[in-house]
Amino acid sequence: MHIQLDPVKVTRFWRRLTGIPKGQFHKTYIFPKRKTKRLRRMMYGVCTVMVFDAPLCRDLRTRLLHVKSLVSASDPRPIRKRLVKELDK
């Protein structure tokens, strides 16, 4: 996660997106500040998921494929904004 992001909001976003309970999240890693500025940053960082249950793995894969289908539409920006808005509620 980038230093300017709020860990609470980022965790809430990923919890809602994945359906994973708060207690199963580990400590957030914050990237050190760089000297060079990157042009594109991910609004909610990156989430790594480790799954040790086959049915849960299938459920998560289905959810992720659904999100991917929303984002891969012909004009992804408005869909991304709607998805983020929906998950921020």
pTM score of the predicted model? 0.54
Q: What is the Cα–Cα distance from 6 to 12, expressed in whole angstroms?
A: 10
What confidence tens digit (pLDDT) does each residue in 15-66 have?
Answer: 888 888 888 888 888 777 777 766 666 777 778 878 889 998 888 888 888 8
At 80 the pLDDT is 62
Per-domain boundaries in the chain:
7-34+41-87
Q: What is the Cα–Cα distance from 38 to 78, expressed in whole angstroms?
A: 23
At 3 the pLDDT is 73
Residue 75: pLDDT over 80: no
